[in-house]
């Protein structure tokens, strides 16, 4: 690797990041960000690693070094939250996290002195809030969204509560998690350093991570603090009281994170405001409705809506002369329930949407869907630094075989594989119904 120049090292790392479905558009600002997060040597090391999980033995072989030296390097990268480790059937594995939710956020999830966090926050603001290419690619490049909104369960009436599914409940995610971590809100931390502090003075330590991600970030560098389920529920309640929106990974099983977001700092909610009516995250399966006979026209719902989806418009009701009432733009509404929670007369209630939002089963399912939609399926199946192993191939193919015929056809076209064509034709002769 010694022949690489400094620019080459970071260029190779940028290409490595963009090999995966979620990438980071090139710019001079991104180059500066990578320089802050990675030394030149670290950029060279990471640029050679597979995108999918890999073992110590694999890393040592790629780097051309001993396993002892490779493990020292891997531990160092975990300490900087540039890698995440896990235990898979007794064998330690490592993975390079994506930009989001990943290494970009991890860098500001705690106060640290090894990097200039103020300078990094300013760079992040330039890259995401000014240049916008990264945010557009992150939230709008695929039909399948990275994140989804959780409804605030407390505002649902009893009959609605009976119909909410387990994976729609943030409380259920907490109960199911083996490990739960809480860390500093990257978004508010970034905006503070960029000179745009949170307008509603929302709490900072409310970023929840789960299972292996929580454990790894807590054990290596203290980016999260492991907490109990009771403490996690307290974080959730504090976030409700602060009118924050819960946005988690867009999967039904074992999401890696739930962020508690404000409209002034969160990239997703800012994107919802700037690029309306496009929605950057998957909505809940609920939509608010206003009972005009109970509404007093106070306008509090419009003030607290995180994406400005409610306006106060003058209209006459059956029981009063003209006055201003809330009008909800259902095309952009996230269905979070913040408005209903804040209505002093309980004039706003949530109803199930007529068309239900489909949520990917797990991370592999989401990755495959996004890769098909973005035209990068071959990148997911074949990694140019390390050929896919049978287990990884089986997981990807298994997910493809459960997709609707149209997306299977798109997958086959992108992959251009006789093997995949045969798998699909065999499956189509004896298909199993799938809701996705």
Q: Which pLDDT belongs to residue 2?
A: 45
Q: pLDDT by residue (tens digit) across 76-94?
A: 999 999 999 999 888 999 9
Residues above pLDDT 90, as percent of the chain: 68
Q: Which pLDDT belongs to residue 102?
A: 93
Please compute the mean of the pLDDT values over residues 292-296 and round it to a whole number: 92
Residue 40, pLDDT > 70, answer yes
Q: Which pLDDT belongs to residue 384?
A: 43
Q: Which pLDDT belongs to residue 327?
A: 95
Q: How far is C-alpha 304 from the chain's CA centre?
A: 23
Q: Which pLDDT belongs to residue 417?
A: 57
Would you give the DSSP letter of residue 350?
Answer: E
Please compute the mean of the pLDDT values over residues 107-127 and round it to a whole number: 96
Higher pLDDT, 173 or 421: 173
Cβ(244)–Cβ(200) below 8 Å:
no
- Residue spans in the chain of domains classed CATH 1.10.10.10: 6-96
Q: Which pLDDT belongs to residue 41?
A: 95
What is the C-alpha to C-alpha distance for residues 115 and 263, in angstroms, rounded to an integer? Answer: 28
Residue 300, pLDDT > 90, answer yes
> Could you tell me which of 72, 76, 19 has the C-alpha nearest to residue 49?
19
Radius of gyration over every alpha carbon of the chain, rounded to an integer in angstroms: 23
Residue 318, pLDDT > 70, answer no
Listed range (32-36, 274-278, 321-325) with the worst mean pLDDT:
321-325
Q: What is the pTM of this model?
A: 0.86
Q: 190: helix, coil or strand?
A: helix
Q: Which pLDDT belongs to residue 418?
A: 53
What is the C-alpha to C-alpha distance for residues 113 and 363, in angstroms, rounded to an integer? Answer: 33
Q: 111: helix, coil or strand?
A: coil
Q: Which pLDDT belongs to residue 393?
A: 59
Higher pLDDT, 220 or 6: 220
CATH-assigned architecture of domain 6-96 = Orthogonal Bundle (1.10)
Provide the mean pLDDT of the chain.
88
Residue found under tokens 């259920």: 172
Cα–Cα separations (whole angstroms), residue 347 to 302, 316, 408, 424 = 13, 16, 46, 51
Domain 286-352: assigned CATH number: 3.30.70.20
Would you give the DSSP letter of residue 166?
Answer: G
| Beta carbons within 8 Å of 151's beta carbon, 6+ residues apart | 164, 168, 284, 285, 286, 335, 336, 337, 350
| Beta carbons within 8 Å of 73's beta carbon, 6+ residues apart | 45, 59, 63, 65
Q: Which pLDDT belongs to residue 388?
A: 47
Residue 57 — very low, low, confident or very high, per pLDDT cuts 50/70/90?
very high
Q: Which pLDDT belongs to residue 219?
A: 96
Q: Which pLDDT belongs to residue 416?
A: 56
> Could you tell me which of 425, 410, 386, 422 has the C-alpha nearest to residue 59?
386
Q: Which pLDDT belongs to residue 156?
A: 87
Residue 432, pLDDT > 50, answer no
| Beta carbons within 8 Å of 212's beta carbon, 6+ residues apart | 84, 86, 179
Q: Which pLDDT belongs to residue 369?
A: 85
């Amino acid at each position: 690797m010694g022949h690489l120049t400094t620019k080459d090292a970071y260029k190779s790392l940028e290409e490595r990041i963009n090999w995966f479905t979620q990438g980071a558009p090139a710019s001079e600002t991104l180059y500066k960000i990578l320089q802050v997060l990675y030394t030149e040597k670290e950029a060279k090391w990471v640029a050679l690693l597979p995108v999918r999980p890999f073992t110590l033995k694999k890393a040592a072989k790629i780097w051309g070094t001993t396993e002892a030296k490779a493990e020292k390097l891997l531990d160092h990268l975990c300490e900087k939250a540039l890698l995440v480790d896990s235990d898979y059937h007794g064998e330690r594995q490592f993975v390079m996290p994506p930009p989001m939710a990943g290494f970009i956020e991890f860098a500001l999830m705690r106060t640290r002195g090894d990097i200039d966090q103020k300078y990094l926050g300013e760079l992040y603001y330039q890259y995401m809030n000014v240049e916008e290419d990264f945010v557009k690619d992150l939230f709008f490049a695929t039909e399948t969204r990275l994140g989804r909104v959780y409804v605030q369960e407390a505002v649902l009436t009893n009959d609605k509560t009976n119909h909410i599914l387990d994976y729609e409940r943030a409380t259920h995610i907490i109960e199911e998690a083996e490990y739960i971590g809480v860390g500093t809100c990257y978004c508010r931390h970034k905006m503070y350093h960029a000179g745009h502090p949170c307008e509603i003075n929302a709490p900072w330590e409310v970023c929840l991570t789960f299972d292996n991600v929580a454990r790894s970030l807590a054990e290596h560098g203290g980016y999260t603090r492991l907490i109990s389920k009771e403490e996690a529920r307290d974080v959730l309640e504090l976030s409700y009281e602060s009118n924050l929106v819960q946005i988690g990974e867009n999967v039904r099983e074992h999401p890696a994170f739930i962020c508690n977001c404000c409209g002034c700092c969160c990239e997703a909610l800012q994107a919802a405001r700037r690029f309306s009516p496009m929605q950057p995250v998957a909505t809940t399966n609920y939509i608010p409705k206003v009972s005009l006979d109970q509404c007093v026209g106070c306008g509090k719902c419009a003030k607290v809506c995180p994406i400005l989806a409610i306006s106060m418009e003058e209209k006459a009701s059956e029981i009063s002369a003209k006055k201003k009432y809330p009008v909800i733009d259902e095309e952009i509404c996230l269905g979070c329930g913040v408005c209903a929670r804040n209505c002093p007369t309980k004039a706003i209630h949530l109803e199930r949407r007529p068309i239900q939002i489909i949520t990917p089963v797990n991370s592999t399912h989401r990755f495959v869907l996004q890769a098909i939609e973005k035209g990068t399926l071959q990148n997911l199946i074949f990694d140019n630094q390390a050929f896919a192993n049978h287990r990884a191939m089986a997981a990807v193919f298994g997910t493809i075989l459960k997709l609707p015929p149209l997306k299977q056809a798109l997958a086959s076209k992108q992959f251009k594989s006789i093997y995949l064509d045969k798998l699909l034709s065999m499956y189509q002769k004896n298909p199993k119904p799938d809701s996705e």
